[in-house]
A and B are shown apart, each in its own frame.
Chain A
Protein backbone atom coordinates (compact mmCIF):
# COMPACT_ATOMS: atom_id res chain seq x y z
CA UNK A 1 0.00 0.00 0.00
CA UNK A 2 2.86 2.36 0.80
CA UNK A 3 4.25 1.98 -2.69
CA UNK A 4 1.31 3.61 -4.46
CA UNK A 5 2.35 7.28 -4.08
CA UNK A 6 5.91 6.48 -5.14
CA UNK A 7 4.73 4.66 -8.25
CA UNK A 8 2.50 7.55 -9.33
CA UNK A 9 5.36 10.03 -8.93
CA UNK A 10 7.59 7.68 -10.87
CA UNK A 11 5.10 7.66 -13.71
CA UNK A 12 4.96 11.46 -13.74
CA UNK A 13 8.73 11.61 -13.79
CA UNK A 14 8.89 9.09 -16.59
CA UNK A 15 6.45 11.04 -18.74
CA UNK A 16 8.90 13.91 -18.70
CA UNK A 17 12.01 11.79 -19.06
CA UNK A 18 10.90 9.47 -21.82
CA UNK A 19 11.17 10.67 -25.39
CA UNK A 20 8.58 9.97 -28.05
CA UNK A 21 11.05 7.85 -29.99
CA UNK A 22 11.36 5.61 -26.88
CA UNK A 23 7.71 4.63 -26.96
CA UNK A 24 6.50 5.10 -30.52
CA UNK A 25 5.72 2.30 -32.89
CA UNK A 26 8.38 2.17 -35.56
CA UNK A 27 6.62 -0.29 -37.83
CA UNK A 28 4.50 2.29 -39.57
CA UNK A 29 1.90 1.16 -42.00
CA UNK A 30 1.33 3.80 -44.65
CA UNK A 31 -0.86 4.18 -47.68
CA UNK A 32 -0.47 6.14 -50.90
CA UNK A 33 -2.94 8.87 -51.86
CA UNK A 34 -4.08 6.98 -54.98
CA UNK A 35 -5.38 4.01 -52.96
CA UNK A 36 -9.16 3.74 -53.12
CA UNK A 37 -11.25 4.01 -49.97
CA UNK A 38 -12.53 0.55 -50.76
CA UNK A 39 -9.02 -0.84 -50.54
CA UNK A 40 -8.31 1.26 -47.43
CA UNK A 41 -11.16 -0.53 -45.71
CA UNK A 42 -9.29 -3.82 -46.04
CA UNK A 43 -6.04 -2.28 -44.85
CA UNK A 44 -7.70 -1.00 -41.68
CA UNK A 45 -9.47 -4.28 -41.11
CA UNK A 46 -6.58 -6.64 -41.76
CA UNK A 47 -3.99 -4.57 -39.90
CA UNK A 48 -6.46 -3.88 -37.10
CA UNK A 49 -5.69 -0.18 -36.98
CA UNK A 50 -7.92 2.85 -36.89
CA UNK A 51 -5.85 5.31 -38.83
CA UNK A 52 -2.99 5.48 -41.32
CA UNK A 53 -0.54 8.17 -42.41
CA UNK A 54 -0.64 8.98 -46.11
CA UNK A 55 2.74 9.19 -47.73
CA UNK A 56 3.71 10.39 -51.22
CA UNK A 57 7.32 10.02 -52.36
CA UNK A 58 8.42 9.61 -48.79
CA UNK A 59 6.73 12.75 -47.57
CA UNK A 60 3.85 12.84 -45.12
CA UNK A 61 0.91 14.41 -46.93
CA UNK A 62 -2.04 13.53 -44.73
CA UNK A 63 -3.81 11.15 -42.38
CA UNK A 64 -6.76 8.91 -43.18
CA UNK A 65 -8.81 7.39 -40.39
CA UNK A 66 -11.79 5.21 -39.64
CA UNK A 67 -13.86 8.35 -39.34
CA UNK A 68 -13.01 9.37 -42.90
CA UNK A 69 -13.95 5.87 -44.04
CA UNK A 70 -17.30 5.92 -42.26
CA UNK A 71 -18.15 9.28 -43.81
CA UNK A 72 -17.25 7.96 -47.25
CA UNK A 73 -19.40 4.88 -46.63
CA UNK A 74 -22.35 7.02 -45.64
CA UNK A 75 -22.08 9.03 -48.81
CA UNK A 76 -21.50 5.98 -50.96
CA UNK A 77 -18.08 7.24 -51.96
CA UNK A 78 -15.97 4.14 -51.51
CA UNK A 79 -14.51 4.49 -55.00
CA UNK A 80 -12.92 7.81 -54.08
CA UNK A 81 -9.20 7.86 -53.36
CA UNK A 82 -7.49 8.27 -50.05
CA UNK A 83 -6.01 11.48 -51.39
CA UNK A 84 -9.48 12.96 -51.85
CA UNK A 85 -10.79 12.00 -48.41
CA UNK A 86 -7.76 12.38 -46.20
CA UNK A 87 -7.13 15.07 -43.66
CA UNK A 88 -4.41 17.39 -44.81
CA UNK A 89 -2.38 19.62 -42.52
CA UNK A 90 -1.64 16.77 -40.27
CA UNK A 91 -0.45 17.49 -36.83
CA UNK A 92 2.71 15.48 -36.27
CA UNK A 93 4.92 15.14 -33.20
CA UNK A 94 8.69 15.27 -33.06
CA UNK A 95 10.55 12.07 -32.19
CA UNK A 96 13.03 13.82 -29.95
CA UNK A 97 10.40 15.59 -27.84
CA UNK A 98 9.40 14.23 -24.44
CA UNK A 99 6.27 12.16 -24.07
CA UNK A 100 4.60 14.91 -22.03
CA UNK A 101 4.15 17.05 -25.15
CA UNK A 102 2.28 14.19 -26.83
CA UNK A 103 0.16 13.64 -23.72
CA UNK A 104 -0.86 17.29 -23.81
CA UNK A 105 -1.67 17.11 -27.53
CA UNK A 106 -3.82 14.02 -27.05
CA UNK A 107 -5.72 15.81 -24.33
CA UNK A 108 -6.09 19.01 -26.32
CA UNK A 109 -6.87 17.74 -29.81
CA UNK A 110 -8.59 14.45 -29.03
CA UNK A 111 -6.98 12.54 -31.91
CA UNK A 112 -6.35 8.82 -31.65
CA UNK A 113 -2.84 8.88 -33.05
CA UNK A 114 -0.08 11.16 -34.23
CA UNK A 115 2.50 10.50 -36.90
CA UNK A 116 6.02 10.96 -35.61
CA UNK A 117 8.56 12.82 -37.69
CA UNK A 118 12.25 13.39 -37.19
CA UNK A 119 14.03 16.73 -37.33
CA UNK A 120 14.15 16.54 -41.13
CA UNK A 121 10.41 15.97 -41.31
CA UNK A 122 10.54 12.34 -42.43
CA UNK A 123 8.02 9.92 -41.06
CA UNK A 124 9.76 7.68 -38.48
CA UNK A 125 6.91 6.23 -36.47
CA UNK A 126 3.40 6.52 -35.18
CA UNK A 127 2.20 7.19 -31.66
CA UNK A 128 -1.05 6.23 -29.96
CA UNK A 129 -2.06 6.58 -26.33
CA UNK A 130 -1.66 2.80 -26.03
CA UNK A 131 1.97 3.14 -27.09
CA UNK A 132 2.59 5.65 -24.32
CA UNK A 133 1.04 3.35 -21.70
CA UNK A 134 2.99 0.35 -22.95
CA UNK A 135 6.22 2.32 -22.99
CA UNK A 136 5.69 3.54 -19.44
CA UNK A 137 4.89 0.06 -18.21
CA UNK A 138 8.02 -1.33 -19.84
CA UNK A 139 10.16 1.31 -18.18
CA UNK A 140 8.52 0.83 -14.79
CA UNK A 141 9.01 -2.91 -14.99
CA UNK A 142 12.67 -2.47 -15.79
CA UNK A 143 13.13 -0.04 -12.93
CA UNK A 144 11.27 -2.26 -10.48
CA UNK A 145 13.42 -5.17 -11.48
CA UNK A 146 16.60 -3.17 -10.90
CA UNK A 147 15.30 -2.03 -7.55
CA UNK A 148 14.50 -5.56 -6.48
CA UNK A 149 18.04 -6.60 -7.30
CA UNK A 150 19.43 -3.62 -5.42
CA UNK A 151 17.23 -4.31 -2.43
CA UNK A 152 18.51 -7.85 -2.20
CA UNK A 153 22.10 -6.75 -2.34
CA UNK A 154 22.36 -5.67 1.26
CA UNK A 155 25.35 -7.98 0.97
CA UNK A 156 27.42 -4.94 -0.02
CA UNK A 157 27.78 -4.55 3.73
CA UNK A 158 30.55 -7.11 3.44
CA UNK A 159 32.12 -5.49 0.42
CA UNK A 160 32.09 -1.83 1.44
CA UNK A 161 33.54 -2.24 4.91
CA UNK A 162 37.28 -2.75 4.97
CA UNK A 163 38.57 -5.26 7.47
CA UNK A 164 40.46 -8.49 7.76
CA UNK A 165 37.16 -10.14 8.47
CA UNK A 166 33.61 -8.79 8.64
CA UNK A 167 30.78 -10.70 10.24
CA UNK A 168 27.18 -9.90 11.07
CA UNK A 169 26.04 -10.99 14.51
CA UNK A 170 22.34 -11.48 15.19
CA UNK A 171 21.03 -12.48 18.62
CA UNK A 172 17.54 -13.55 19.57
CA UNK A 173 16.06 -14.52 22.89
CA UNK A 174 14.09 -17.75 22.90
CA UNK A 175 11.47 -18.10 25.63
CA UNK A 176 10.53 -21.52 27.00
CA UNK A 177 7.23 -23.18 26.11
CA UNK A 178 6.10 -20.21 23.98
CA UNK A 179 4.35 -22.07 21.20
CA UNK A 180 2.83 -19.00 19.68
CA UNK A 181 6.03 -17.02 19.18
CA UNK A 182 8.24 -20.04 18.77
CA UNK A 183 10.03 -20.00 15.43
CA UNK A 184 10.09 -16.22 15.15
CA UNK A 185 13.84 -16.01 15.61
CA UNK A 186 14.44 -18.58 12.87
CA UNK A 187 12.05 -16.71 10.61
CA UNK A 188 14.00 -13.48 11.14
CA UNK A 189 17.31 -15.17 10.49
CA UNK A 190 15.89 -16.63 7.30
CA UNK A 191 14.76 -13.22 6.14
CA UNK A 192 18.14 -11.73 6.97
CA UNK A 193 19.75 -14.31 4.70
CA UNK A 194 17.31 -13.46 1.93
CA UNK A 195 18.22 -9.78 2.28
CA UNK A 196 21.87 -10.69 2.05
CA UNK A 197 21.22 -12.52 -1.20
CA UNK A 198 22.19 -16.02 -0.10
CA UNK A 199 21.36 -18.93 -2.40
CA UNK A 200 17.88 -20.43 -1.87
CA UNK A 201 19.20 -23.94 -1.21
CA UNK A 202 21.50 -22.67 1.50
CA UNK A 203 18.76 -20.54 3.00
CA UNK A 204 16.49 -23.55 3.30
CA UNK A 205 19.16 -25.68 5.01
CA UNK A 206 19.97 -22.92 7.47
CA UNK A 207 16.28 -22.20 8.08
CA UNK A 208 15.38 -25.82 8.83
CA UNK A 209 18.38 -26.36 11.11
CA UNK A 210 17.86 -23.09 12.96
CA UNK A 211 14.18 -23.79 13.45
CA UNK A 212 14.84 -27.27 14.87
CA UNK A 213 17.41 -25.77 17.24
CA UNK A 214 15.04 -23.01 18.32
CA UNK A 215 12.23 -25.50 18.95
CA UNK A 216 14.58 -27.61 21.07
CA UNK A 217 15.36 -24.63 23.28
CA UNK A 218 11.67 -23.88 23.49
CA UNK A 219 10.57 -27.41 24.35
CA UNK A 220 13.34 -28.69 26.58
CA UNK A 221 14.99 -25.75 28.27
CA UNK A 222 14.26 -22.96 30.72
CA UNK A 223 15.03 -20.45 28.03
CA UNK A 224 17.99 -19.46 25.91
CA UNK A 225 19.33 -17.66 22.91
CA UNK A 226 19.90 -18.10 19.19
CA UNK A 227 23.06 -16.44 17.90
CA UNK A 228 23.65 -16.20 14.18
CA UNK A 229 27.13 -15.26 13.02
CA UNK A 230 27.08 -14.49 9.30
CA UNK A 231 30.14 -13.85 7.20
CA UNK A 232 30.90 -14.31 3.51
CA UNK A 233 32.76 -17.57 4.11
CA UNK A 234 30.60 -19.23 6.69
CA UNK A 235 27.44 -19.16 8.78
CA UNK A 236 27.39 -20.31 12.34
CA UNK A 237 24.22 -20.73 14.37
CA UNK A 238 24.65 -21.21 18.11
CA UNK A 239 21.70 -22.36 20.19
CA UNK A 240 22.55 -21.79 23.83
CA UNK A 241 20.33 -22.39 26.83
CA UNK A 242 20.52 -22.10 30.59
CA UNK A 243 19.40 -25.57 31.57
CA UNK A 244 18.53 -28.22 32.52
CA UNK A 245 21.29 -29.79 30.44
CA UNK A 246 21.50 -33.15 28.72
CA UNK A 247 22.75 -36.06 30.85
CA UNK A 248 23.75 -38.28 27.90
CA UNK A 249 24.65 -36.43 24.71
CA UNK A 250 25.27 -39.64 22.73
CA UNK A 251 21.79 -40.83 23.55
CA UNK A 252 20.27 -37.48 22.63
CA UNK A 253 21.83 -37.69 19.17
CA UNK A 254 20.21 -41.05 18.45
CA UNK A 255 17.41 -40.87 15.85
CA UNK A 256 14.03 -41.32 17.45
CA UNK A 257 15.19 -40.67 21.00
CA UNK A 258 13.15 -37.98 22.70
CA UNK A 259 12.53 -36.80 26.23
CA UNK A 260 9.55 -34.69 25.18
CA UNK A 261 6.42 -35.07 27.32
CA UNK A 262 3.14 -36.24 25.79
CA UNK A 263 1.52 -32.85 25.45
CA UNK A 264 4.41 -31.84 23.21
CA UNK A 265 3.90 -34.88 21.02
CA UNK A 266 0.27 -33.92 20.60
CA UNK A 267 1.47 -30.72 18.98
CA UNK A 268 3.40 -32.74 16.43
CA UNK A 269 6.80 -32.46 18.02
CA UNK A 270 8.95 -34.86 19.97
CA UNK A 271 9.68 -37.42 17.30
CA UNK A 272 13.31 -37.37 18.32
CA UNK A 273 14.54 -36.39 14.87
CA UNK A 274 15.47 -32.76 15.48
CA UNK A 275 19.18 -33.22 16.01
CA UNK A 276 19.34 -35.73 13.18
CA UNK A 277 17.66 -33.22 10.86
CA UNK A 278 20.11 -30.54 11.90
CA UNK A 279 23.10 -32.78 11.29
CA UNK A 280 21.82 -33.57 7.82
CA UNK A 281 21.38 -29.90 6.91
CA UNK A 282 24.63 -28.59 8.32
CA UNK A 283 28.28 -29.05 7.44
CA UNK A 284 29.33 -29.32 11.08
CA UNK A 285 27.45 -29.78 14.30
CA UNK A 286 28.76 -29.82 17.86
CA UNK A 287 26.64 -30.51 20.94
CA UNK A 288 27.96 -29.94 24.44
CA UNK A 289 26.04 -29.94 27.67
CA UNK A 290 26.37 -29.95 31.44
CA UNK A 291 23.53 -30.93 33.71
CA UNK A 292 22.43 -28.06 35.91
CA UNK A 293 24.26 -25.52 33.74
CA UNK A 294 23.01 -25.61 30.19
CA UNK A 295 23.45 -26.79 26.62
CA UNK A 296 25.27 -25.38 23.62
CA UNK A 297 24.59 -26.51 20.08
CA UNK A 298 26.81 -25.04 17.38
CA UNK A 299 25.80 -25.52 13.76
CA UNK A 300 28.15 -24.48 10.99
CA UNK A 301 27.58 -23.98 7.27
CA UNK A 302 30.65 -23.41 5.15
CA UNK A 303 29.80 -21.51 2.00
CA UNK A 304 31.00 -23.03 -1.23
CA UNK A 305 32.31 -20.76 -3.97
CA UNK A 306 28.94 -20.51 -5.71
CA UNK A 307 27.23 -19.82 -2.43
CA UNK A 308 29.75 -17.09 -1.63
CA UNK A 309 29.21 -15.52 -5.03
CA UNK A 310 25.53 -14.95 -4.44
CA UNK A 311 26.35 -13.82 -0.90
Chain B
Protein backbone atom coordinates (compact mmCIF):
# COMPACT_ATOMS: atom_id res chain seq x y z
CA UNK B 1 0.00 0.00 0.00
CA UNK B 2 1.29 3.45 -0.84
CA UNK B 3 2.21 5.66 2.09
CA UNK B 4 0.05 8.40 0.58
CA UNK B 5 -2.95 6.05 0.71
CA UNK B 6 -2.18 5.18 4.33
CA UNK B 7 -2.23 8.87 5.24
CA UNK B 8 -5.50 9.36 3.36
CA UNK B 9 -7.10 6.48 5.22
CA UNK B 10 -6.18 7.75 8.68
CA UNK B 11 -6.24 11.46 7.88
CA UNK B 12 -2.57 11.56 8.74
CA UNK B 13 0.21 14.04 8.17
CA UNK B 14 3.90 13.69 7.38
CA UNK B 15 6.30 14.96 10.02
CA UNK B 16 9.71 14.37 8.46
CA UNK B 17 10.49 16.13 5.20
CA UNK B 18 11.13 14.50 1.86
CA UNK B 19 8.65 11.70 2.45
CA UNK B 20 8.01 9.76 -0.77
CA UNK B 21 4.24 9.42 -1.16
CA UNK B 22 4.70 6.37 -3.37
CA UNK B 23 6.72 4.46 -0.79
CA UNK B 24 5.24 1.00 -0.35
CA UNK B 25 4.44 -0.65 2.97
CA UNK B 26 3.55 -4.31 2.78
CA UNK B 27 2.22 -4.90 6.29
CA UNK B 28 1.56 -3.08 9.54
CA UNK B 29 1.80 -3.62 13.25
CA UNK B 30 0.67 -1.63 16.25
CA UNK B 31 2.74 -1.75 19.41
CA UNK B 32 3.69 0.37 22.38
CA UNK B 33 6.34 -1.90 23.82
CA UNK B 34 9.79 -1.77 22.20
CA UNK B 35 10.37 -5.45 22.70
CA UNK B 36 7.12 -6.28 20.92
CA UNK B 37 8.18 -4.14 18.00
CA UNK B 38 11.52 -5.93 17.83
CA UNK B 39 9.83 -9.29 17.97
CA UNK B 40 8.06 -8.69 14.66
CA UNK B 41 10.58 -9.50 12.00
CA UNK B 42 9.02 -8.25 8.80
CA UNK B 43 10.73 -5.60 6.78
CA UNK B 44 8.57 -3.26 4.75
CA UNK B 45 6.29 -2.85 7.75
CA UNK B 46 4.46 0.28 8.89
CA UNK B 47 4.67 0.71 12.66
CA UNK B 48 1.77 2.32 14.49
CA UNK B 49 2.80 3.46 17.93
CA UNK B 50 2.34 5.97 20.70
CA UNK B 51 6.02 5.88 21.65
CA UNK B 52 7.72 9.05 20.53
CA UNK B 53 11.21 8.87 22.06
CA UNK B 54 14.22 8.54 19.72
CA UNK B 55 14.58 4.86 20.52
CA UNK B 56 11.50 4.17 18.44
CA UNK B 57 13.53 5.26 15.40
CA UNK B 58 16.45 3.06 16.42
CA UNK B 59 14.08 0.16 16.87
CA UNK B 60 12.62 0.83 13.45
CA UNK B 61 16.08 0.85 11.93
CA UNK B 62 17.05 -2.44 13.58
CA UNK B 63 13.83 -4.24 12.78
CA UNK B 64 13.66 -3.07 9.18
CA UNK B 65 10.52 -1.03 9.67
CA UNK B 66 9.81 1.16 6.69
CA UNK B 67 7.76 3.98 8.19
CA UNK B 68 6.25 5.06 11.51
CA UNK B 69 2.74 6.39 12.20
CA UNK B 70 2.24 8.00 15.60
CA UNK B 71 -1.29 7.64 16.93
CA UNK B 72 -3.44 9.45 19.51
CA UNK B 73 -2.33 12.80 18.15
CA UNK B 74 1.18 12.36 19.50
CA UNK B 75 3.94 14.39 17.93
CA UNK B 76 7.57 13.39 18.53
CA UNK B 77 10.24 15.67 20.00
CA UNK B 78 13.02 17.19 17.83
CA UNK B 79 15.59 14.50 18.75
CA UNK B 80 13.30 11.81 17.37
CA UNK B 81 12.59 13.77 14.19
CA UNK B 82 16.23 14.53 13.43
CA UNK B 83 17.29 10.93 14.02
CA UNK B 84 14.53 9.79 11.66
CA UNK B 85 15.66 12.27 9.00
CA UNK B 86 19.22 10.94 9.26
CA UNK B 87 18.03 7.34 9.02
CA UNK B 88 15.60 8.15 6.17
CA UNK B 89 12.68 6.67 8.08
CA UNK B 90 9.48 8.61 7.37
CA UNK B 91 7.55 9.76 10.44
CA UNK B 92 3.85 10.44 10.16
CA UNK B 93 1.06 11.07 12.65
CA UNK B 94 -2.69 10.80 13.05
CA UNK B 95 -5.11 12.04 15.68
CA UNK B 96 -6.96 8.72 15.61
CA UNK B 97 -6.52 6.25 18.42
CA UNK B 98 -4.43 3.11 17.89
CA UNK B 99 -7.58 1.04 17.72
CA UNK B 100 -9.24 3.24 15.09
CA UNK B 101 -6.14 3.66 12.95
CA UNK B 102 -5.40 -0.06 12.98
CA UNK B 103 -9.01 -0.91 12.25
CA UNK B 104 -9.25 1.45 9.28
CA UNK B 105 -5.99 0.29 7.73
CA UNK B 106 -6.82 -3.37 8.27
CA UNK B 107 -10.21 -2.67 6.71
CA UNK B 108 -8.72 -1.33 3.48
CA UNK B 109 -6.52 -4.37 3.14
CA UNK B 110 -3.19 -3.54 4.77
CA UNK B 111 -2.09 -6.89 6.09
CA UNK B 112 -0.95 -7.66 9.59
CA UNK B 113 2.75 -8.27 9.89
CA UNK B 114 2.33 -11.48 11.81
CA UNK B 115 2.88 -12.60 15.36
CA UNK B 116 6.20 -13.67 16.74
CA UNK B 117 6.49 -17.13 18.20
CA UNK B 118 7.54 -15.73 21.57
CA UNK B 119 3.99 -15.70 22.80
CA UNK B 120 3.52 -19.35 21.89
CA UNK B 121 4.69 -20.84 25.17
CA UNK B 122 2.58 -18.71 27.49
CA UNK B 123 -0.57 -19.31 25.43
CA UNK B 124 0.01 -23.02 25.31
CA UNK B 125 0.60 -23.15 29.06
CA UNK B 126 -2.56 -21.18 29.75
CA UNK B 127 -4.96 -22.68 27.21
CA UNK B 128 -3.35 -25.88 26.03
CA UNK B 129 -3.45 -24.83 22.40
CA UNK B 130 -0.49 -25.09 20.10
CA UNK B 131 0.35 -22.10 17.98
CA UNK B 132 -1.27 -21.97 14.52
CA UNK B 133 1.46 -21.93 11.93
Task: Report A's interface with B, CB cutoff 8 A.
Answer: 179-180, 182-183, 186-187, 190, 200, 204, 207-208, 210-212, 215, 255, 267-269, 271-274, 276-277, 280
Would B35 and A269 count as touching, CB distance under 8 A?
Answer: yes
Would A211 and B62 count as touching, CB distance under 8 A?
Answer: yes
Q: In the complex, A193 Cα to B66 Cα: how many Å?
A: 19
Q: Report 5 cross-chain contacts, Cβ distance below 8 Å, ordered by A residue.
A: A183-B62, A186-B58, A207-B62, A210-B62, A277-B35
Q: Does B20 reach chain A (CB closer than 8 Å)?
A: no
Task: Report B's interface with A, CB cutoff 8 A.
Answer: 32-36, 38-39, 41, 43, 51, 53-56, 58-59, 61-64, 79, 116-118, 121-122
Q: In the complex, A199 Cα to B59 Cα: how many Å?
A: 19
Q: In the complex, A180 Cα to B58 Cα: how many Å?
A: 10
Would A190 and B35 count as touching, CB distance under 8 A?
Answer: no
Would A182 and B58 count as touching, CB distance under 8 A?
Answer: yes
Would B43 and A280 count as touching, CB distance under 8 A?
Answer: no
Would A187 and B58 count as touching, CB distance under 8 A?
Answer: yes
Q: Give the chain B neighbours of A179 by CB distance below 8 A.
A: 53-55
CB distance from A49 to the nearest CB of B (A): 33
CB distance from A179 to the nearest CB of B (A): 6
CB closest chain-B residue, reference A183: B58
CB closest chain-A residue, reference B31: A268
Would B34 and A269 count as touching, CB distance under 8 A?
Answer: yes
Would B62 and A277 count as touching, CB distance under 8 A?
Answer: no
Q: In the complex, A180 Cα to B55 Cα: how many Å?
A: 7
CB closest chain-B residue, reference A278: B38
Q: In the complex, A274 Cα to B33 Cα: how many Å?
A: 11
Would A208 and B38 count as touching, CB distance under 8 A?
Answer: yes
Would B122 and A255 count as touching, CB distance under 8 A?
Answer: yes
If A204-B63, A280-B118 touch, whether A267 touches B58 (CB-CB below 8 Å) is no
CB distance from A302 to the nearest CB of B (A): 19
Would A273 and B121 count as touching, CB distance under 8 A?
Answer: no
Q: In the complex, A270 Cα to B112 Cα: how many Å?
A: 25
Q: Give the chain A neighbours of B43 by CB distance below 8 A.
A: 200, 204
Q: Give the chain B neighbours of A276 by CB distance below 8 A.
A: 118
CB closest chain-B residue, reference A256: B122
CB closest chain-B residue, reference A190: B62
Contact of B35 among A182, A204, A210, A271 (CB under 8 A): A271
Would B55 and A267 count as touching, CB distance under 8 A?
Answer: yes
CB distance from B75 to the nearest CB of A (A): 16
Q: In the complex, A205 Cα to B116 Cα: how many Å?
A: 13
Would A211 and B53 count as touching, CB distance under 8 A?
Answer: no
Q: In the complex, A186 Cα to B118 Cα: how many Å?
A: 22
Would B58 and A212 count as touching, CB distance under 8 A?
Answer: no
If A187-B58, A204-B64, A255-B118 touch, whether A211 touches B32 (CB-CB below 8 Å) is no
Would B41 and A211 count as touching, CB distance under 8 A?
Answer: no
CB distance from B43 to the nearest CB of A (A): 7
Would A268 and B39 count as touching, CB distance under 8 A?
Answer: no
